[in-house]
Amino acid sequence: MFSSIRARLTGFYLLLLLALFTLLGILLFFSLHRIVYRSIDAGLLVQARALAASIEPGGHDENLNFSDEVMQEYGSPHSGHFFQIRNAEGLTLKKSSSMNDVDFPIPKAGSIQRYMTVLLKGKPVRFVNFYFSPESETGAQKPVIIIQCGQVIDRELDLLHGFTAVLAGSVFLFLCVSGLAGIVLARKALEPVNTMSRTIDLISEMNLSERIDASSDPEELKRIAESFNRTLERLEKSFERQKHFVADASHELRTPLAVILAHSDVMLRKKHTVAEYEEAVTAIRDAAAMMSAIVEKLLTLARMTSDRTELKFEQVALDDIIRQGVKLLSPLAEEKAVGVELFIPESVTVRGDREALMELFVNLIDNSIKYNVAGGHVKISFRQENGYAVIEILDTGIGIASEEIEAVFDRFYRVDKARGGKAVGLGLSISREIARLHQGRIELRSKTGSGTVALIYLPLQSL
């Protein structure tokens, strides 16, 4: 029930108000209670003193005489005023006729309770025990007598009860009104949350470009909206990339497939010479090899970019791995008459996955040979920089125009599309992914016509 912010806010607010109001009510009630009783008690004391003053000094204990006026005041049982005079032992010496056959309780010996409330004939009566020692004619003190003077207080009690009822009623009314106000306020304050959640609900992969407009929302919600918008932005970009990637991959595979279909159709239409068949089959085989290379690279890329990439990290000797790569590519280098020189110290190791690093270096050395000029050079060297192993692959090839330096890392991007052959345009994308998985990076520096430098940064310790 209290799972929503609104219910919690309102509940908390109401509890707080209830506590405050109750406290205030109790305080008010007791203050009034005190004021009322004080004024009654003061009146009673005045009456008791008046009675004491009117006791004639000459009288005996048995015949305390009061003026007619006094006796009249306390005469009728309906007057609501009573007195009873006792000696120190508690024996009644005299009492007003309003008392009839009832008595005030005898004060306990040594008791200090002066004012008390009792029920006389079903009515609440407040009385005072006034201790008094009258003077004799000679001026000597006579033994103490107790003047008990009382008064019906039902009207005062009615007033207190009435006040309590009004107080409780007002507290209840206040709570109801505040509760309603709280609910309305909380609903109003949280309305933007509902609007936001409705907008979010409407966003699907079809409209990832939609954004939450929180410009008029409170600061807290604005922050949530902003981070959600950033997430959307990332999602949208990655979704776009994915879409392009699928489109590009299909497009790349379509060319060799078209070649295969065309050759097969021509061959099947009529009989051909053996030489013609050989030519067609060779073309088909080349196209299939091309497709195979593309699919192979796509699989590697998918493996490298998936979150569950399982790389086996171990200490890998850089010079060993690069030497192997160069050896693998030596037929290509020989074919293009490109000389490859290696300057890597034997002792350097990095922590990484052997196969993945091999793929990275083969891709980059392959580029430096493939995009070199006939009779050109490749120089591979090593240096250490800020905790990184930096492998530099320098070629004297055709170079890359500065505006294309970033683009060549894109999937399927080739500067010279018409070139065909084995160029798929996935090598650098894969290499960059591998470097990233090793917490490293690849940089390209190049100038058209004079060659390219590829810099591979791999952390020396860590991982």
Does 400 interact with ligand ADP (rule: CB under 6 A)? Answer: yes
- From 63-71, 272-280, 282-290, 423-431, span contacting Mg ion (CB under 5 A): 423-431
Q: Please state, in angstroms and rounded to a whole number, the distance separating the CA atoms of residues 398 and 202.
A: 51
Q: In this structure, what token pair is assigned to residue 87? A: 């000696």
Does 427 interact with ligand ADP (rule: CB under 6 A)? Answer: yes
Does 396 interact with ligand ADP (rule: CB under 6 A)? Answer: no
What does DSSP assign to residue 389?
A: E
Q: Is the distance from CB of 311 to CB of 279 less than 8 angstroms?
A: no
The interface with Mg ion within residues 115-174 (CB under 5 A) comprises: none
- From 24-32, 182-190, 237-245, 362-370, span contacting Mg ion (CB under 5 A): 362-370
Nearer to ligand ADP (CB atom), residue 358 or residue 408: 408
Q: Please state, in angstroms and rounded to a whole number, the distance separating the CA atoms of residues 211 and 206.
A: 13
Does 367 interact with ligand ADP (rule: CB under 6 A)? Answer: yes
Q: Which of 232, 318, 329, 398 binds ligand ADP (CB under 6 A)?
A: 398
- From 1-9, 16-24, 209-217, 409-417, span contacting ligand ADP (CB under 6 A): 409-417
The interface with Mg ion within residues 426-445 (CB under 5 A) comprises: 427
Nearer to ligand ADP (CB atom), residue 13 or residue 413: 413
The interface with ligand ADP within residues 304-363 (CB under 6 A) comprises: 363
Q: State the DSSP H helix or E strand holding residue 382, giving kind and residue range, or none if neither.
A: strand 377-385
Q: Is the distance from CB of 393 to CB of 365 less than 8 angstroms?
A: yes
Does 325 interact with Mg ion (rule: CB under 5 A)? Answer: no
From the centroid of its chain, how far is CA 215? 21
- From 93-101, 270-278, 340-348, 398-406, span contacting ligand ADP (CB under 6 A): 398-406
Q: Which residues bind Mg ion (CB under 5 A)?
A: 367, 427
Q: Which residues bind ligand ADP (CB under 6 A)?
A: 363, 367-368, 371, 395, 397-400, 408, 413-416, 423-428, 452
